[in-house]
Amino acid sequence: MTRTFTLALAGTILAGAATAAPVELGPRPFYLIDRMEEGALKDKLMACQDMEMTAQKFSIGHRGAPLMFPEHTVESNRAAARMGAGILECDVTFTADKELVCRHAQNDLHTTTNILATDLAENCTTPFTGANGDTPAAAECRTSDITLAEFRTLTGKMDAANAMGETVEAYMDGTAGWRTDLYSAMGGTLMTHAESIALFDELGADFTPELKSPSVEMPFDGFTQADYAQKMINEYKDAGIAPNRVWPQSFNLEDVLYWIENEPEFGKQAVYLVEWFNGFDEQNAETWNEDFAALVDQGVNYLAPSINMLVTVKDGQIAASDYAMAAKEAGLNLITWTLERSGPLNTGGGWYYQSVAEAVDNDADYFTVLDVLAQDVGVEGVFSDWPATVTYYANCMAQGM
């Protein structure tokens, strides 16, 4: 019998979605389903092929839809919303004049924008040097190297670099073969954090901004970490966004605790991000339970581990990890990242799938992993680089709730 599940977020049509564009998934979910192994899950998913799809909060656009669009751009987020992502992400960092902008890292402009091909290249922390023999190319360009006005002159590109490029042009031409430059040829439109709020609201989506760790020493020109965390929340308040539409994230627990203490309405949905690290398998349940109990005692309600922490292989099948079950038993709400991020599953899927590499052999296994995350782990949302897959699943499996 096909299992059904109840997700706190999965079946909820977005507030404001009536003004959003119709959901159009494109061919990818159907392509994946066609290639699944025969069984109850495939049968259930196939039975939903004629459904009218709606936007779902269970489907979270990770930097928009960067499988094919330059991340953190207007175009990428419009694509994610079109595919039914009910929550969209702006990774938040700051410029030299302490204005908040959307970038995955403060020091990624050399791989995510055209800065090296502009006069602003001379402002970079580490100017470009081409590869020389076995010595790879090098560059580091930070948002804090430039002002907001200068940031606005840049365009987004696919996040990539050719480490063996001897010229700027060769270095910038490094997009992985399983991604594409088709939608970056004309350049992606960069956004400030405030502009992302206006765009996501227009698209009928909710918000999950991530406060990124600064590459500069803090305080930065008098700008403290607390100032930074507060400024991000202030931009939602200034825009009149209800706190229950915002899931602020950070890998820095101190940021999460700051929001819980100083902005409790936003802190209720503050998300503590954690990721796989060396020696993860050597941790034990006692350590997990102590960690989880401490988080709950401090008021943390949401934990967002990477996918590889939540799934494992048991008896040859993909299954919920002991870590995932301990987190749920502690009362933590789980969100996870990132589906369709690190390459084709027929070669193991990369970092995100290292805990289940022996059990995945083609991209159709994305649905198998997703089903375990939803049914057995009980996650409340899944970040994806191509939200259509998660949107399809959330619509299909929420039938009859």
| CATH number (domain holding residue 339) | 3.20.20.190
Q: For residue 123, tell me if it sits in a domain.
A: yes
Q: For residue 346, tell me if it sits in a domain.
A: yes
Residue 10, pLDDT > 60, answer no
Q: For residue 100, tell me if it sits in a domain.
A: no
Q: For residue 143, tell me if it sits in a domain.
A: yes
Domain count, the chain: 2
Residue 261, pLDDT > 80, answer yes
Shared domain for 252 and 147, answered yes or no, is: no
Tell me what the mean pLDDT of segment 135-159 comes to. Answer: 98
For residue 281, what pLDDT is reported? 64
Tell me what the mean pLDDT of segment 289-318 comes to. Answer: 96
Q: For residue 71, tell me if it sits in a domain.
A: yes
Shared domain for 293 and 389, answered yes or no, is: yes
Shared domain for 140 and 243, answered yes or no, is: no
For residue 20, what pLDDT is reported? 59
Q: How far apart are CA 135 and CA 321, in angstroms?
A: 41
Q: Bigger pLDDT: 6 or 31?
A: 31
Q: How far apart are CA 261 and CA 247, in angstroms?
A: 15
For residue 1, what pLDDT is reported? 35
Measure the CA dihedral 225/230/235/240, to 10°: 160
Structural tokens at position 58: 């269970």
Shared domain for 122 and 238, answered yes or no, is: no
349 confidence band (pLDDT: 50, 70, 90):
confident
For residue 21, what pLDDT is reported? 73
Enclosing domain of residue 155: 107-188
Q: For residue 254, tell me if it sits in a domain.
A: yes
Structural tokens at position 180: 């594409």
Q: For residue 295, tell me if it sits in a domain.
A: yes
Decide: 87 and 201 in contact? Cβ < 8 Å: no
What is the pTM assigned to this prediction?
0.94
Shared domain for 343 and 383, answered yes or no, is: yes
For residue 399, what pLDDT is reported? 34
Residue 292, pLDDT > 60, answer yes
Shared domain for 265 and 152, answered yes or no, is: no
Cβ-count burial 224-253 (b if 16+ within 10 Å, e if not): ebebbbbbbbebbeeeebebebbbbbbbbb
